[in-house]
A and B are shown apart, each in its own frame.
Chain A
């Protein structure tokens, strides 16, 4: 398969599938199979791309054959290929899971086209090599996310949708403004070209302004303190499959963009910006975890844990070292898979026990021992315990912090791990250990279409934990590629000549 096609397939496939779904508008049953097929093909394409990048290095496609910086480049480097692969895996799991638990309303309101559309936005954002094009994918992402929030049409969802839309639109608008300032200052939009031009420019109002606006807008997208309010109020209201997609992917796209932009354009976070990002990371980590601890609703708790996880990812940016970025890349992949898994499992628990309110459920270890074991795996990974991927993610991040002369950040990362563990233990004790309250509606047989995808993601996390070397190696390459973008620049700028 030609490089051009391979690089762009993860975007084109879901877009095509969204189109097919729209064509069979009146047949949600067909849309379902179209989506599953599309996600399977997308995952296959994503892994083929990952294999390609690992063997050949950075891969570039220039649609329309307009050489960079004049056309739009689509670029797969180790980081973007990894992110696309992990995202596609979660999307595949979610598409199978969506055979249950999606309301008739949603099915007839365009749930599946929006599902595919979300993946267009996610993969587009991961793969684009052009900053304005990134904005376009952000828009696709945002509009599909809003669609997935409103498609169920009940009061709580709409309220959440408005809040989500209001704060995120503001973030997206700031991003666009930042792009405008950057274009005004540097005169180009291509990442690789920007990476060559911007460091030569010297300080100017436009550039400084763009930097601050990027920090703010991506802070909103990545749910960083103090811009993260939209997340906890929106994520628990949706059906589990949507929460899983959102929890696994949306904020990750934001932090990915932050890695890309800050490392390519501004040589990481330095000086005052560096200090600010350090504290944003620390406070995001802590507040997310301690707020999660007091939640009684399982999904609210998980939503706050997303926030906490974002703090860990921001540490990579705060450190701006190859090790820190490599650790953050590992964490990113781990987090995409595990957040997807826990939200899917939260949905299964809600089916098994009739509610996701921890005060209203219990005793699941007697009624659903298999679910208990699988949830335990996901929970331990979430809390950063061996032998799951979360353990290595935590170790690498802490190691990078100590190594990068930020011991306080490393300490906070480890300490926050304890609070996350407390959250997981709380879920375990409430949902599984304690005796269920009177009148709990237990569903004995859990649908396989829900159990299998969730279990598969947990097993992926376990596999990464037991055999961490390959991913760690790839993450290290991703981190090195971020810290020293010369290969990226060469691949893009040299490709058209």
Chain B
């Protein structure tokens, strides 16, 4: 099956999810789970066709005009991701079917979103074309928004949904910017080709911009400092969504893309240093925050942030060791964290209790969940014979092997590992095996099998791969490593732990984790550290949004609340300034033109009348008188035309002037005409200056222009052709009705429509019937 079919099948299943759910009722979960299960099996069947170091490439023409194709790439790494997506997806669909057992409508909606999300995820990890990758990437952000806001009547859920979208879609835009620049630099959007020409791209001046933008995109998606805050808030989503999106798959997309870029750009400091620094900081912050959290899901969320940071850091670690540890940890985390979320969902669903501190003693009430949870936690703690042990072992190897970054890596690795061990203990032991601190926990319903078996399956898988490592590592994990590293990686994995320094450290970590669990209540109750909680929360986000809101308020007020007079003044003022600026170079033209102008006393009389009209318009108390003043100006202009040998133009001017005054008056009469508000004495000179300035600027422009001879080509043609070709004696008439008849048609239309306007204003209102 070629890669595109995986996406298509998943997409179709998303579309039919709602009707199928309605028809299938209780069995909707298992029934729909057949789709991801089928995809999972089909992916496994690809394994023989995909020897280490090969990739299946597929390209379908899509938007050649922009060089975008539906380009797919299935190699070891995308296969690993696809297996996680479809495998955990299968379990999530089964789980969600039970989770929403009491609301059929919600169930259909939810399963539709989950399958849509799976489509988007498959599209992202199978994409070779970066624009296509981005489209699916944004789709995951969008579906995540809908799932976090699934309980949309709840204001808190809406707020969290908005926050996650702002952060991830905002980062997405940075990523898009990076991709566009990368496309311009490389001349292609194909990841395969870009990786091949990485050395050339790295020498381009745009390289730092590309890397920074891509890093921002990945950091927001994978919740890295300073964008880490959205993920814990995203826990407002229903638990199956948290397990799938906000732990096992979507938040790992940032890591996915970083790893893809690492293949080509891993050796450049500008790429790997930020990964180590920000990954490390995020690890420390989240390790601290997890110890301060009280909510069951919050603890898991912060520990997810810490794990993502670990992955980011490992991508940054140069060389083979980083790749090995990254892949190992990625798989181990996906399995145990999804299981823990599943278990948490079961506990919350059946007890209606969200606070970890109030839970305890549930081992006999939710037995399967308790076992699943225990298995997952042991893997997470890194106990030998579990997948998590091997992951931690590789992690420590990479950290100790870190060269000049060794010290930093060791510190963050040890600190975070100890805390994660503690979290494992907390999440798995406390609700089930420790005594409930506030008395027996009330159970609203017994364990649902649909919600208990999926985590058990994941927990057992973690154990199975730990005990019998060869099949999974050799056929899936090591090919994924090799695909990323660019050449075959050799790795012997044994079930039994190898004794040595690392083993001792592992034991020490287990002990320190146990100690942290033991002292957890005391640490949690220490009130002195509350300030620190706030610092790591979404203060910065709140500040930016607040700032944006204030800027918007101010802008909006300026743009719609001020008086028309102010708007005219600004428009006129800007225009006057621009025009005067345009004239600065032409003062010599103006002087010579002014000197050439003959003195005509009768024109002065007309112009004085114009000025009187203008003054009346400006200073009259009544708006009506003002309009008449404007009319005087218009009529004197007509006289000017008349005196300069253009009687027909003058006649037109008279008509237009009359019509416009009628319309204006009609409009104004319809408004309740209060006496015009008196302007303050300060504003009046300003208004005068602006209006006079505009007039003067245009006047000067005319003056400066008049030095140049006029090109008479058109006038001459009209003069000659009007009688000979158009057979008319009056040139102006011929121009109006023949040469430029279309203008006249348009102007007739203007007059006709203007008449309609006048009619609309003057006629009586239609009385409403009844």
- A187 and B564: CB pair below 8 A? no
- A291 and B559: CB pair below 8 A? yes
- B180 and A402: CB pair below 8 A? yes
| Residues from chain B with Cβ under 8 Å of A170 in the complex | 568, 571-572
| Residues from chain B with Cβ under 8 Å of A69 in the complex | 713-714
Binds A, one of B151-159, B283-291, B414-422, B499-507: B151-159
- CA–CA, A452 and B85, complex, Å: 38
Give the number of A-B contacts (CB < 8 Å): 296
Do A143 and B753 form a contact, CB below 8 Å, given A230-B567, A386-B135?
Answer: yes
In whole Å, how far is A176's beta carbon from the nearest beta carbon of chain B?
11
Cβ-neighbour of A213 out of B152, B562, B579 (below 8 A): B579
- B579 and A209: CB pair below 8 A? yes
- A110 and B152: CB pair below 8 A? no
| Residues from chain B with Cβ under 8 Å of A226 in the complex | 570-571, 574
Binds B, one of A81-89, A133-141, A252-260, A488-496: A133-141
- A208 and B585: CB pair below 8 A? yes
- B552 and A472: CB pair below 8 A? no
- A205 and B559: CB pair below 8 A? no
- A133 and B714: CB pair below 8 A? no
Do A291 and B153 form a contact, CB below 8 Å, given A185-B705, A209-B579?
Answer: no
Nearest to A432 among chain B residues (CB) is B152
Q: Answer whether residue B643 sits at the interface, using C-beta atoms and an 8 A cutoff.
A: no
- B578 and A212: CB pair below 8 A? yes
- A385 and B138: CB pair below 8 A? yes
Cβ-neighbour of A124 out of B131, B155, B746 (below 8 A): B746
- A294 and B760: CB pair below 8 A? no
In whole Å, how far is B498's beta carbon from the nearest beta carbon of chain A?
49
- B753 and A209: CB pair below 8 A? no
Count contacts on B: residues with CB < 8 A to the other chain.
Answer: 103
Q: Answer whether residue A271 sits at the interface, using C-beta atoms and an 8 A cutoff.
A: no
- B169 and A140: CB pair below 8 A? no
Nearest to A8 among chain B residues (CB) is B742
From residue 381 to 438 of chain A, which have CB atoms closer than 8 A to chain B? 385-387, 391-392, 395-396, 398-399, 402-403, 407, 410-411, 414-415, 417-419, 421-422, 425, 429, 433-435
- CA–CA, A127 and B215, complex, Å: 47
Tell me which of A167, A395, A402 has the highest count of chain B C-beta atoms within 10 A of its own C-beta. Answer: A395
Annotate A182-202 by CB proximity to B: 1 below 8 A, 0 otherwise: 001111110000000100000
From residue 153 to 172 of chain B, which have CB atoms closer than 8 A to chain A? 153, 155, 158, 161-162, 165-166, 169-170
Q: Answer whether residue A476 sits at the interface, using C-beta atoms and an 8 A cutoff.
A: yes
- A433 and B739: CB pair below 8 A? no
Annotate A114-127 by CB proximity to B: 1 below 8 A, 0 otherwise: 10010010001000
| Residues from chain A with Cβ under 8 Å of B763 in the complex | 108-109
- B756 and A209: CB pair below 8 A? no
Q: Answer whether residue B556 sits at the interface, using C-beta atoms and an 8 A cutoff.
A: yes
Cβ-neighbour of A117 out of B131, B698, B745, B753 (below 8 A): B753
| Residues from chain B with Cβ under 8 Å of A419 in the complex | 548
Cβ-neighbour of B169 out of A70, A418, A468 (below 8 A): A418
From residue 42 to 89 of chain A, which have CB atoms closer than 8 A to chain B? 63-64, 66, 69-72, 74
Binds A, one of B472-480, B510-518, B667-675: B667-675
Give the interface of B toward A (CB within 8 A). 62-66, 131, 134-135, 138-139, 142, 145, 149, 152-153, 155, 158, 161-162, 165-166, 169-170, 173-174, 176-177, 180-181, 183-184, 209, 548-549, 551-553, 555-556, 559-560, 562, 564, 567-568, 570-572, 574-575, 578-579, 581-583, 585-586, 589-590, 667-668, 670-672, 698, 701-702, 704-708, 710-714, 717-718, 721, 738-743, 745-747, 749-750, 752-754, 756-757, 759-761, 763, 765-766, 768
* Sampled A-B contacts (29; CB under 8 Å): A64-B742, A71-B739, A72-B742, A108-B763, A113-B756, A136-B747, A143-B757, A150-B757, A158-B667, A166-B568, A167-B571, A170-B572, A187-B714, A188-B713, A197-B711, A205-B586, A205-B701, A232-B556, A294-B553, A386-B138, A391-B135, A395-B131, A398-B176, A399-B184, A402-B177, A414-B174, A418-B170, A425-B145, A473-B65
Q: Which 8 A-B pairs have the closest CB atoms?
A: A187-B711, A205-B704, A206-B705, A136-B746, A294-B552, A433-B152, A472-B65, A205-B586
Q: Given known contacts A147-B754, A291-B555, A391-B135, what 4 new A-B pairs fall within 8 Å (CB)?
A: A158-B671, A290-B552, A385-B138, A403-B184
